[in-house]
């Protein structure tokens, strides 16, 4: 089965998505997600200029060989642009293999290890009242666990509080994400001291309102030093978090060793990691509890399965990154992995907007708090190319942070 055609499709139904569409001589179509939030066109170029020409004429069944060829033959390794491009090829080839076999991808990965994947949603609010309302809304939507993010007194705008923005003249959520359309990133503010004082009071209030059973998560979004993160982990111990995510910037992995020495709050990291090797120390030294890798930014399904098998030896579980800037294709890819592996932990699920769901038809279901990728052959996602054509790319950036004295801080 030969790859005959390869196209890169950019569409912005609610936000920008980059999709690789491969077609074989036997008529099978495979989709791969190559969306890199805020840097989308760099992956389009990497694919169109450097990858697509190498794919035409290749055997579509040779997933591992194609992955290794794209990874090793470039000489320059890793990085989000390269790995998103390779990830899209990998997903598209798994999609094709599933369709050729007449099976959903999870069957090819070993079959289902559970009935569905526990999902958590993003509850947030500028203050406690808004946060409580958001937690209730999420429970009504069927979520059995939630991430908790709130405003911090004295700070105007911070990460993780669902915002609204104007699209086509109407007020609509911009796919629940903080990226903003425009030519320059929005500026937010930050003060770690205020945050460290405030956050334990938020979790205390949430626990007293909602009781001890609801699994609660929190994303530190890379903004603390190791000792600050250790202090936060310790101060949150009475509230029994499911995990504390990205407590320190991802570059310095030694930081996690220090945090680990001080707290039993479970740690999750890796949404901006690109390869299995980025997790080598964190997994083998048991410095984390959950692997946050996303199929899209991690080189696809093949390496995600490998890192999770490695993690399984240390009782470390999955917690794949599932924001709306992962397209329905990338999201489906990690649902298939999550359903198949033994060491599944939890799946982040933010939910795409209506136009996104109309552009990408999905066999996925969300029932009783559990996600399932569906049983359509392949990944179970179809891209409506005409619909996609209605929504051209729009420049959008993630925000950045400045401290009160003007210093740029991690966002
Ligand atoms: O900020 O996906 O856990 N989720 C996150 C996300 C990231 C965005 C960046 O594109 O941290 O909201
Ligand atoms: Co995160």
Same domain, 96 and 126: no
How far CA 283 is from CA of 143, 254, 300, 313, 391, in Å, comes to: 29, 12, 19, 9, 41
pLDDT of residue 165: 40
Nearest C-alpha neighbor of 379 from the set 300, 308, 312: 300
C-alpha of residue 93 to centroid of ligand 2, in Å: 28
Q: What is the CATH number of the domain that holds 176?
A: 3.20.20.120
40 part of a folded domain: yes
19 part of a folded domain: yes
Same domain, 140 and 40: no
What is the Cβ-side half-sphere exposure of residue 256, based on CA atoms within 13 angstroms? 26
Same domain, 202 and 99: no
pLDDT of residue 175: 63
pLDDT of residue 167: 40
Ligand having the closest approach to the CA of 325:
1
Same domain, 93 and 133: no
How far CA 130 is from CA of 126, 127, 205, 243, in Å, comes to: 6, 5, 13, 22
C-alpha of residue 381 to centroid of ligand 1, in Å: 22
Which residue among 104, 135, 165 closes a domain? 104
Q: Please name the residue whose Cα sits nearest to atom 10 of ligand 1.
A: 37
Distance CA(349)–CA(53), nearest Å, equals: 35
Q: Please name the residue whose Cα sits nearest to atom 9 of ligand 1.
A: 37
Same domain, 66 and 200: no
Looking at residue 112, the DSSP 8-state letter turns out to be -
Q: What is the CATH number of the domain that holds 48?
A: 3.30.390.10
Nearest C-alpha neighbor of 373 from the set 411, 340, 410, 327: 340
388 part of a folded domain: no
Same domain, 193 and 67: no
List the pLDDT tens digit at each of the 411 positions of the chain.
999 999 999 999 999 999 999 999 999 999 999 999 999 999 999 999 999 999 999 999 999 999 999 999 999 999 999 999 999 999 999 999 999 999 999 999 999 999 999 999 999 999 999 999 999 999 999 999 999 999 999 998 889 987 644 444 443 455 656 678 888 999 999 999 999 999 999 999 999 999 999 999 999 999 999 999 999 999 999 999 999 999 999 999 999 999 999 999 999 999 999 999 999 999 999 999 999 999 999 999 999 999 999 999 999 999 999 999 999 999 999 999 999 999 999 999 999 999 999 999 999 999 999 999 999 999 999 999 999 999 999 999 999 999 999 999 999
Q: Please name the residue whose Cα sits nearest to atom 5 of ligand 1.
A: 323
408 part of a folded domain: no
Which residue among 70, 104, 138 closes a domain? 104
Looking at residue 278, the DSSP 8-state letter turns out to be G
Number of domains in the chain: 2
385 part of a folded domain: no
pLDDT of residue 176: 59
Same domain, 50 and 137: no
Same domain, 34 and 155: no
pLDDT of residue 172: 47
Same domain, 97 and 139: no
Which residue among 104, 134, 163 closes a domain? 104
Q: What three-state secondary structure class fits 339?
A: helix
How far CA 121 is from CA of 56, 149, 201, in Å, comes to: 40, 11, 21
Ligand 1 environment, Cβ below 6 A: 37, 219, 221, 271, 321, 323, 325, 398
Same domain, 255 and 369: yes
**Would you say 104 and 317 are in contact if contact means Cβ atoms under 8 Å apart?**
no
Give the bridge partners for 18, in sequence order: 10
Alpha carbon distance, N-terminus to C-terminus of the chain: 45
Pairing of β 347-348 and β 117-125: parallel
Active site residues: 159, 221
154 part of a folded domain: yes
Return the C-alpha torsion angle 66, 294, 84, 270, nearest 10: -110
> Ligand 1: which atom is nearest the Cα of residue 179?
10
Distance CA(341)–CA(102), nearest Å, equals: 21
Nearest C-alpha neighbor of 288 from the set 310, 257, 312, 313: 257
Q: Please name the residue whose Cα sits nearest to atom 11 of ligand 1.
A: 221
Same domain, 100 and 176: no
Same domain, 154 and 12: no
**Total residue length of the chain:** 411
C-alpha of residue 248 to centroid of ligand 1, in Å: 14
Mutate to test the pocket of ligand 1, among 43, 221, 327, 396 (most ligand atoms within 8 A of CB): 221
C-alpha of residue 34 to centroid of ligand 2, in Å: 19
**How many of the other CB atoms lie within 10 Å of CB of 403?**
12
212 part of a folded domain: yes
Ligand having the closest approach to the CA of 185:
1
329 part of a folded domain: yes
Find the domain containing 48 and state its range: 3-104
Ligand having the closest approach to the CA of 37:
1
Nearest C-alpha neighbor of 279 from the set 318, 247, 244: 318
């Amino acid at each position: 089965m030969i790859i005959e055609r390869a196209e890169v499709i950019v569409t912005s139904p609610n936000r920008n998505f980059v999709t690789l569409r491969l077609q074989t001589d036997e008529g099978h179509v495979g989709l791969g997600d190559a969306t890199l939030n805020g840097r989308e066109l760099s992956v389009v170029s990497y694919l169109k200029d450097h990858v697509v020409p190498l794919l035409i004429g290749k055997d579509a069944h040779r997933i591992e060989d194609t992955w290794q060829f794209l990874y090793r033959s470039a000489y320059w390794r890793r990085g989000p642009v390269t790995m998103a491009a390779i990830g899209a090829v990998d997903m598209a080839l798994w999609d094709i293999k599933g369709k050729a076999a007449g099976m959903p991808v999870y069957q090819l990965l070993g079959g289902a290890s559970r009935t569905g994947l526990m999902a958590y949603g993003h509850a947030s609010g500028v203050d406690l009242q808004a946060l409580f309302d958001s937690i209730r809304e999420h429970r009504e939507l069927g979520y059995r666990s939630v991430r908790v993010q709130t405003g911090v007194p004295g700070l105007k705008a911070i990460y993780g509080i669902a915002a609204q923005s104007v699209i086509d003249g109407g007020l609509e959520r911009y796919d629940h994400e903080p990226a903003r359309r425009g030519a320059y990133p929005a500026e937010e503010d930050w003060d770690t001291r205020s945050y460290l004082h405030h956050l334990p009071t938020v979790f205390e209030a949430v626990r007293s309102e909602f009781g001890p059973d609801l699994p609660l998560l929190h994303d530190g979004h890379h903004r603390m030093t190791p000792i600050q993160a250790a202090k936060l982990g310790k101060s949150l111990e009475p509230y029994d978090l499911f995990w504390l995510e990205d407590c320190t910037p991802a570059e310095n992995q030694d930081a996690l060793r220090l945090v680990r020495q001080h707290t039993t709050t479970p740690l999750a990291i890796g949404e901006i990691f690109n390869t299995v090797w980025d997790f080598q120390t964190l997994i083998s030294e048991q410095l984390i509890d959950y692997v946050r890798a996303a199929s899209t930014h991690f080189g696809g399904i093949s390496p995600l399965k490998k890192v999770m098998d490695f993690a399984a030896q240390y009782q470390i579980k999955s917690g794949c990154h599932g924001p709306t800037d992962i397209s329905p294709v990338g999201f489906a890819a990690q649902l298939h992995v999550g359903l198949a592996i033994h060491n599944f932990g939890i799946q982040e699920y933010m939910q795409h907007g209506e136009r996104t769901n109309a552009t990408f038809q999905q066999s996925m279901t969300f029932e009783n708090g559990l996600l399932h990728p569906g049983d359509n052959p392949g990944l179970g996602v179809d891209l409506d190319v005409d619909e996609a054509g209605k929504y051209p790319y729009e420049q959008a950036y993630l925000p950045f942070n400045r401290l009160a004295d003007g210093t740029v801080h991690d966002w």
